Amino acid sequence: MDKLRALQCFMSAAVEKSFSGAARELGVSVPAVAKMVTALERNLGVALFERTTRGLTLTAGGNDYFRTCGPALALLDEAEDQARASTARIRGTLVVGVQHVVARGCLTAALPRFHARHPDIALDVRDFRRVAEEDMGGMDVMIVLGWPDTPNFVQRPISAGRFIVAASPAYWDARGRPERPKDLEQHDCLPIRAIDGTVMDLWTFSRGSEQESVAAKGWLTITNAHRDMVVDLAVAGHGVVRLLDWTNLAELTAGSLVRVLPDWESSEAIPVNLIYRPSVRRMARARAFIDFVIEVFQELEQVRGGRVHGSERPPWLRRHYERSSASAMHS
């Protein structure tokens, strides 16, 4: 059995939900795809698909295998692309979905460097409201914060960010600096609404064995798309903001925002994920961009002194709450 070819057939069939769709994508016959997948199942001793008249559905074992194989095949394709890079220039248009916080926090400043390396790649950068299959059809690669549920896509965690709490020097001078997280209950906090609609007002902290949570309250709540408003208002002295540790480095370095509670660590570490269809890995321009994004986040990790690993999916995401603090009442 050609194991690599069998894996390609399996991944394509999983995405297309049919052997016929995989055959069209790979340019082979339907029996050839079915034969390869059956041989792979026999080799593994695991049924990867449930076969019905409506198409294919991944079994639990098949779903686990899909998630594991996606990044591995992507790495293989990246290695092949590097081997070809010396003899061919990469060209074409790549559609990239990027959340505003990632674009503003690190990607925008890095894009000219990517263009210098790959002048024949045209990037079409787009925003998105939800991380759902029906909203991802026009995008080749997405950079997504959080814990998305995208079983038919490759989901590759590349970094994570912890939250820090900051405000302007004038605000701290007027209101006093908190000595522990609970003191934030006496301050004007400016929570942000996540892209799923939940107000992220549950701010959790740890220090050694100590744990503290705060239901952040203030005079303003802003949707994620207008996150810069919260930062600007905090710089102007109108409240306390919670930031990811790799964003707003300019304000923190210049001192227009001052971090507090440095000995307390955010209990949540939000993963940064690259998400794309398995077939995208065959696009040289996509692999070049994926490599570049990984490099950008590796550089950020060096600046902050090491890699942060994403925490588990938080309770407030397991069922919909209007405010994340409501999950603490039901836990």
User: Is the pLDDT score of 154 beyond 50?
Assistant: yes
Q: Which of 86, 133, 135 is nearest to 284 (CA)?
A: 86
- Largest CA-CA distance found in the chain, in angstroms, rounded: 74
Query: For residue range 288-297, what is the model confidence (pLDDT) as tens digits?
Result: 999 999 999 9
Q: Tell me what pLDDT residue 328 has.
A: 67
- What was the pLDDT predicted at 76? 77
pLDDT digits (tens, 9 = 90+) for 243-273: 998 888 889 999 999 999 999 999 889 999 9
Does domain 90-159+270-304 bear CATH number 3.30.310.50?
A: no
Question: Do 90-159+270-304 and 160-268+311-329 show the same overall fold?
Answer: yes
- Class for domain 3-82, per CATH? mainly alpha
Query: Distance between CA atoms of 184 and 238, rounded to whole angstroms?
Result: 14
Supply the pLDDT for residue 132.
Answer: 64
Q: Which residue would you say has higher pLDDT here, 154 or 197?
A: 154
Other Cβ atoms less than 10 A from the Cβ of 51: the count is 13
* Phi (first) and psi of residue 269, to 5 degrees: -120, 110
* pLDDT attached to residue 87: 47
Residue written as tokens 């970094």?
159
Higher pLDDT, 150 or 118: 118
pLDDT in tens, 207-219: 999 999 999 999 9
According to DSSP, residue 310 is labeled: P
Give per-residue pLDDT as tens, 72-89.
Answer: 877 777 666 666 555 467
Ordered by start, the domain boundaries in the chain are: 3-82, 90-159+270-304, 160-268+311-329
pLDDT of residue 293: 95
Residue 116's pLDDT is: 96
pLDDT at 257: 97
**Cβ(7)–Cβ(69) under 8 Å?**
yes
Q: What is the pLDDT of residue 99?
A: 87
pLDDT tens for 192-248 read 988 777 888 999 999 999 999 999 999 999 988 788 999 999 999 999 999 998 888
- Which residue type occupies 256? S
Whether pTM exceeds 0.85: no
Share of the chain above pLDDT 90, in %: 50
Cα dihedral 286, 287, 288, 293 in deg (nearest 10): 90
pLDDT at residue 164 greater than cutoff 50: yes
CB 254 within 8 A of CB 171: no
Position 249 scores a pLDDT of 85
Whether residue 254 contacts residue 127, with contact meaning beta carbons closer than 8 Å, is answered with no
SS (H, E, C) 245-300: CCCCHHHHHHCCCEEECCCCEECCEEEEEEEECHHHHHCHHHHHHHHHHHHHHHHH
- CATH level 3 topology of 160-268+311-329: D-Maltodextrin-Binding Protein; domain 2 (3.40.190)
Mean pLDDT of the chain: 87
